[in-house]
Amino acid sequence: MKEHLIKQAISILEENFQEGGFTIPCKGLYPFQWKWDSGFIAIGQAHYDMEKAKTEIATLLDAQWQNGFIPHIIFHNESDTYFPGANVHRSDLSPLASKKYKSTGMTQPPVTGFVLDEMYRIAEDKEDILNYIATQIDNVYDNHAYFYTHRDVNNEGLVFIYHNWESGTDNSPIWDDIWKTMNPPDYTFERRDTTHVDASQRPTKREYDHYLNIIEIAKEYHYDDAKIAEHSPFLVLDPLFNAMLIKSNESLIHLYRLLGDTGKVVQLEKWQEKSIKGFNEKLWDDKLNAYVHYDLRKDAPIRFVTSSSFSALYGGIPNQERADLLIQTMMGKFGDEELYLCASFDPQSDRFDPKKYWRGPVWINMNWILYNGLKRYGFNDIAQRVKEDSIALIEKNGFFEYFNPIKKVGDTEKIGYGGNNFSWSAALLIDMLK
């Protein structure tokens, strides 16, 4: 069972674990706690040290704001290896921010609900884990209530993101046309990411100007969601983000039932029904046969196929007929035998770049979401291929952040990019192998 890989993965997670009770995504490049990273990391930790997994999530939820919001980065410590840090994000501008921790004023995909459910699945001592879940689950529920109260501007069960970093797919070509609608200043700042990673694998300076500009606008409004919804140049319905919320709703319903606490289930079921309906009505593209992003500023879909399009399977969102169409699209565009599954952006598009972060490379967290989604709908052979490709990429190249999907490039050079000894690659490999 690839014991050597599991051993290596555990030692990476142990190295990246910090005294404050959280795990950094990787040294230098990402020296704090990141929201969705922490979730995936806890799934890996749960296999060998459940107490650590519990701590990881409890630390994350300890940084929750008064309104239920969970920030994307929690700055537990000082570090000069990352830009933009706490003094740029200035969470203190929001009256609702945590008084205990400095953080960003943006969030990341809501994975925490299904992470608790995965911890339950993995735990041998079900009673013990349920006792733990009982201490945390209301915080996650409050986070969902925050999304449905403050981020569903059209009351359609779909929640917006206001920054590309909230999507998790930071520099996806999806955002290119939004950048064209903005004209940010040419800011002066010192990037740190490109001191750790080759610039060809990271976003451009001009992209960073856009990223910073949206933060400055949100700061002007003290991170008030209603004002952000009115004024942010970036306002998007993201299929990955909403699929994670839907999957987490389902998990919370499952866990509250197990806890014998059905008080919140009625509300969760209402949200869930509305979200699944909204997702299928608004994000499905009949010509592409895929789920796509939706630009709320332009009130128009963003018509590209990405690995986020397929995350709906994990959320149980499409019916079987639509799932079949989605898989035809996936295999038609991404499934060539000369490619590792699954590129993060349509390999047939002229915007595809196999080396540049979220513009094409394979990501292990997306593969894990896809693997579980494919199994849910009975696409077992393709699920197996996703799993085997993930293992092969890590075994041949190391525990990198992302990988070139083009197999033949890997014959002559290393095709692992970004941060090395990357925590979620390690954590999710453990889960896939176990």
Enzyme catalytic residues: 170, 401
Q: Provide the mask over 242-281, with x wherever binding to ligand DGY is found by CB under 6 A and - wherever it is not.
A: ----------------------------------------
**How big is the chain, counted in residues?**
434
Shortest CB 83 distance to ligand DGY, Å: 8
Shortest CB 169 distance to ligand DGY, Å: 10
What CA–CA distance (Å, rounded) separates 181 from 96?
Answer: 31
C-alpha distances in angstroms, 214 versus 68, 131, 392? 22, 41, 38
Please, which residue, 68 or 71, has the CB nearer to ligand DGY?
A: 71
Shortest CB 73 distance to ligand DGY, Å: 6
What CA–CA distance (Å, rounded) separates 268 from 173?
Answer: 33
The SS3 assignment for 17 reads strand
208 near ligand DGY (CB under 6 A):
no
Which of 156, 170, 324, 395 contacts ligand DGY by CB under 6 A? 170
Please, which residue, 72 or 247, has the CB nearer to ligand DGY?
A: 72
165 near ligand DGY (CB under 6 A):
yes
Site for ligand DGY in 315-354 (CB under 6 A): none
What CA–CA distance (Å, rounded) separates 249 from 114?
Answer: 8
- The count of chain residues that interact with ligand DGY, using the rule CB under 6 A, is 4
What CA–CA distance (Å, rounded) separates 130 from 112?
Answer: 15
Residue nearest to ligand DGY (CB): 165
Shortest CB 82 distance to ligand DGY, Å: 7
Please, which residue, 39 or 410, has the CB nearer to ligand DGY?
A: 39
Please, which residue, 165 or 399, has the CB nearer to ligand DGY?
A: 165
Give which of 378, 317, 370 is closest to 342, Cα–Cα: 370
**Residue indicated by tokens 């699920």:** 383
Shortest CB 85 distance to ligand DGY, Å: 10
How far out from the chain centre does Cα 102 lie? Answer: 21
Shortest CB 363 distance to ligand DGY, Å: 12
Q: Could you give the dihedral angle defined by the CA atoms of residues 246, 248, 254 and 258, in that order, rounded to the nearest 10 degrees? A: -160
The SS3 assignment for 362 reads strand
Please, which residue, 193 or 431, has the CB nearer to ligand DGY?
A: 193
- Residue 97 gets the label, from left (phi > 0), alpha (psi -120 to 50) or beta, of beta
The SS3 assignment for 300 reads strand
The SS3 assignment for 236 reads strand
How far out from the chain centre does Cα 246 lie? Answer: 13
Please list, in sequence order, all residues whose beta carbon lies within 8 angstroms of the beta carbon of residue 155, skipping any fewer than 6 positions away.
none
Query: For residues 105 and 94, is the Cβ–Cβ distance under 8 A?
Result: yes
Amino acid at 76: H
Site for ligand DGY in 41-80 (CB under 6 A): 72
Site for ligand DGY in 109-148 (CB under 6 A): none
Shortest CB 87 distance to ligand DGY, Å: 15
Residues that bind ligand DGY (CB under 6 A): 72, 165, 170, 193
